[in-house]
Chains A and B, each alone.
Chain A
Amino acid sequence: MRGRVVPAHCRRDGGATGFTKTLQTIMAIDWQAFRLTLQLAVTVSALLLVLGLPIAYWIAFSGWRWKFLVEAVAALPIVLPPTVLGFYVLMALGPHSPFGRWWISLTGHTLAFTFTGLVLGSILYSLPFAVQPFAASFASVDRKLIAASATLGASPMRTFFRVIAPLSIPGLITGAALTFAHTMGEFGVVLMVGGNIPGVTRTVSIDIFDRVQASDYTAANQTALLLLVLCFAVLTIVYGLNRKAWTISPTGKL
């Protein structure tokens, strides 16, 4: 009944104000910060997909007795305050550390307050969100399948790409998506390492913080809501995919 009334109402004055409002909302969001944040999240996820695999493989299959130390280090960013991590990354990138000096002698400028520095800090910050799902899914691959591959003459590398990785796809998707969502929302590390340079290091969460500082709650709300929806969408897709994958593929335990 109401469905017929509302469109007629909208077509007159209500529709016009709605459109203006939407326009205002879109204008209020700092799209440059959004593009930069997406760029950062995609770069970090892609790099961690590459860097995380060997680390996760080693954690899943190494028999080294001190392995737990490495596992603890790799998990540290989960519990460490981002400002602490950010502080040390900043120190490492700056001209007072050997790495920082080496980089400056190589390129002529410091990594601190640059997009590359931001990527480096974010990789460290999101490392456990990639490595832990990867390692967990590698470890759950049936060891007999790995043994069978070896007895059929396959090298460890071939076994990884033909058996372990294909059977770990849900874990790989989870790790990449968690990294993506986590990097989208990071704040402390970015602020410490990158600062707030529009178009270079100003990410969405910094933008929100800035708006709140300036008492522009409407704009902060629009941006925050968009970020919330985006992260929720990513996680929904991941969990949805994984559930499906679990029902059709064996758990790997026999």
Chain B
Amino acid sequence: MNPPRSIEAVESASLTPISPAGEPSPERSTPLLEARFRKQQGLQFSLDVAFQATPGFTILFGPSGAGKTTLLDCVAGLAKPDAGRIAIGDSVLFDSAQRMDLPVAKRRVGYVFQSLALFPHLTVEQNVQYGLTHLPQAERRARAATILQQFRIAYLAHRSAREISGGESQRAALARTLVTDPAVLLLDEPLAALDASTKAKIIDDLREWNRTHRVPILYVTHSREEVFALGERVIVLDAGRIVAQGTPHEVIEAPRQETVAQLVGFENIFDATVEAVHPERGTMTCRLAASDQGDRVLLETPLVRADAGSALRVGIRAGDILLATSLPVGLSARNVIPGRIASLQQRDVIVSARVNCGVEMEVHLTLAARDSLQLVPGREVWLVIKTHSCHLMQA
């Protein structure tokens, strides 16, 4: 897996390619997708990005409205940037300086939409052969048969595209695009509506295909699991800007931008001041900005490059905090903070507890934990937080 990296490695909105230094690059000739463009949409929104995507999966991660689909549309040629340049290796798709704007049909960009867009009046086989008209019929048949086999939907060949199930449609849409040998592949949440096991199988098939066809794949998703399952690299997009990029580990596990933090679900985000730095232990002590009446709260956090007295933000996931009803001893966790339950609220099968410990923290528990600990509002508790559950961000 990925070696642990210090979070300084994540340069937000970095324009340099993310190329892990230690990794060998056996296929130096494989085309790189290089894009740098901007597009204004109405008065409110503008997309302004610069990135490179090497062969393999690059995840585009971000909230809805961040511009992910617009970005893919610009690469595919379905939307026209106001200015910039998009190229795959030596072939230029778009260059405003040269007034170059290759038509969609000539870009060799494979694009699988969220809605899949299978042609409903054609069979699965006709759908898959749709992009192969330049080939002789025998070759067309052979290629379609191979890809249908590879995606395990050969039995669907003669079924109408409107008659097949969701998972089958997803496989058919992928097969239809991949059979054309695209130079770059754009996937806009094609697996969003699938259950986890079907999704995992399709991801395996995609990976298998990618082993033999080393092309850049831009994969849009909202799902954290998909980021970790697929991601070699992640680009985080927010409000039309790239706010972070790097490996999933770097970007998701130690985000430095608050937008990223909110994206990956930090229920607790606090302003904090660095109280003391302990380079020898690899930690720091941070003081949370408490509400007026609260006691001051000190947290031991991972070390980042910051001086004592500087301002930071700390994000803690509600599910990463433990609750104890008596003062726990003999723990490896460095933060044990006394507090009092302010409220308990059941949401589906989890219980969300708000605990006042100088600041108010949200903690997620199971129903069983609430019942066996007999938690009620007003009850005195201790919060247990591991050092590495405290994620530091720029203030």
Contacts and interface: CB of A to CB of B under 8 A. Distances in A.
Given A150-B105, A151-B110, A250 B117 contact: no
A158 B134 CA distance: 12
B104 A150 contact: yes
B139 to A, nearest CB: 15
B379 to A, nearest CB: 51
A153 B134 contact: yes
A155 interface: yes
B176 interface: yes
Contacts of B108: 153
Contacts of A142: 115, 117
B78 interface: yes
A144 interface: yes
Interface string A210-254: 000000000000000000000000000000000000000110001
Contact of A144 (B109, B117, B121): B117
Contacts of B117: 142, 144-145, 147-148, 254
Interface string A141-165: 0101101111111110010001100
A144 B130 contact: no
A166 interface: yes
B105 A153 contact: yes
B159 interface: no
A162 B104 contact: no
A152 B120 contact: no
Contacts of A249: 120-121, 162
Interface in B101-119: 103-111, 113, 115, 117, 119
B121 A152 contact: no
Interface in A2-19: none
B387 interface: no
Interface string B89-109: 000000000000001111111
A55 interface: no
B177 interface: yes
Nearest to B180: A152
Contacts of A149: 119, 130
Contact of B104 (A144, A145, A151): A151
A145 B119 contact: yes
Name the residue among A150, A162, A163, A250 with the largest chain B CB count within 10 angstroms.
A150
B111 A151 contact: yes
B334 to A, nearest CB: 51
B76 interface: yes
B167 interface: no
B147 to A, nearest CB: 13
B131 interface: yes
Nearest to B104: A150
A144 B120 contact: no
B183 to A, nearest CB: 12
A152 B131 contact: yes
A144 B105 contact: no
A147 B104 contact: yes
A167 interface: yes
A150 B162 CA distance: 20
A144 B115 contact: yes
A146 to B, nearest CB: 9
Contact of A167 (B109, B113, B115, B121): B121
Contacts of B133: 153-154, 158
A152 B180 CA distance: 7
A167 B76 CA distance: 24
A153 B176 CA distance: 12
Contacts of A147: 76, 78, 104, 111, 113, 117
Contact of B111 (A145, A148, A163, A167): A148
Contact of B131 (A153, A155, A254): A153
Interface in A125-148: 142, 144-145, 147-148
A242 to B, nearest CB: 16
A23 to B, nearest CB: 49
B124 to A, nearest CB: 14
Interface string B328-353: 00000000000000000000000000
Contact of B120 (A151, A153, A158, A250): A250
Given A148-B113, A250-B162, A154 B130 contact: yes
A226 B351 CA distance: 76
A163 B131 contact: no
Contacts of B111: 147-148, 151
A231 B184 CA distance: 55
Nearest to A166: B121
A250 B122 CA distance: 13
Contacts of A145: 117, 119
Contacts of A162: 119, 130
Please give me the 5 A-B residue pairs with the lowest Cβ-Cβ distance, nearest first: A152-B131, A150-B104, A148-B117, A144-B117, A151-B111
Given A151-B109, A154-B133, 10 more contacts: A142-B117, A144-B113, A148-B117, A148-B119, A149-B130, A150-B77, A150-B78, A153-B180, A162-B130, A249-B121
18 contacts: A147-B76, A147-B113, A148-B117, A150-B78, A150-B104, A151-B111, A151-B177, A152-B177, A153-B105, A153-B131, A154-B105, A158-B133, A162-B119, A162-B130, A167-B120, A249-B120, A250-B162, A254-B117
